Amino acid sequence: MFPFVTKPNAGTQASTAQFTFAADEDNVLYLCNLDSAGWRGCSTPHNLTGLSSGSHTLQLRAIDFAGNRGPIVAHTWGVDAVPPVITVTRKPAAVIDTNVATIEFTLDDAAATATCQLDQQVSTACTSPVSLVNLANGAHTFRIVARDVAGNESVETISWTVDTVGRAITITSAPTWTQGTATVAFTK
């Protein structure tokens, strides 16, 4: 029996793959079968190019000079060049008058993970919903980065402003009552 010495990870973005393998004995013929396309002679290292997105399986067999066939070994991996999609389902309005906010999102890939970052804070792992409290007055940015098992990333950025400061109103003229009407002027 012989193992794959190197092989691609279970999930990868690469449309290429390299395999190396070694048999129990020297001077053997290797046969490879990629995605059931048929057995062909191959050598180590075995480089594959132009792989499409999706699942791939490489079967390998060694035959010695006496014609003895070794067992078939196989490796299955996936090529994924498509980043996960982040859908924001709840976010703060452009301007809010409270120091709390909730952000909700979904990922279209159940195996993908997310990290979140508020303003310049450290990015940390997160799941939806994200509750933000004690937000200071001013502009804020919230960044969601989704990463799938193949390493593809997508980013969603949400921006808003917190304004909890009450506005002072100054009355610049008092009402004058003349013939049933009143006029008031003010500034903010």
Q: What is the pLDDT of residues 74-96, one digit of tens each?
A: 999 999 888 999 999 999 999 99
- pLDDT at residue 179 in the model: 64
How much is the pTM?
Answer: 0.63
Distance CA 95, CA 114 (A): 26
Q: What is the pLDDT of residues 167-184, one digit of tens each?
A: 667 767 766 656 666 666
Distance CA 127, CA 129 (A): 6
Distance CA 47, CA 168 (A): 72
Nearest C-alpha neighbor of 101 from the set 55, 136, 70, 151: 136
Distance CA 130, CA 142 (A): 10
Distance CA 25, CA 12 (A): 32
pLDDT over 90 percentage in the chain:
66
CB 31 within 8 A of CB 37: no
Mean pLDDT is lowest, of 26-30, 122-126, 130-134, for: 26-30
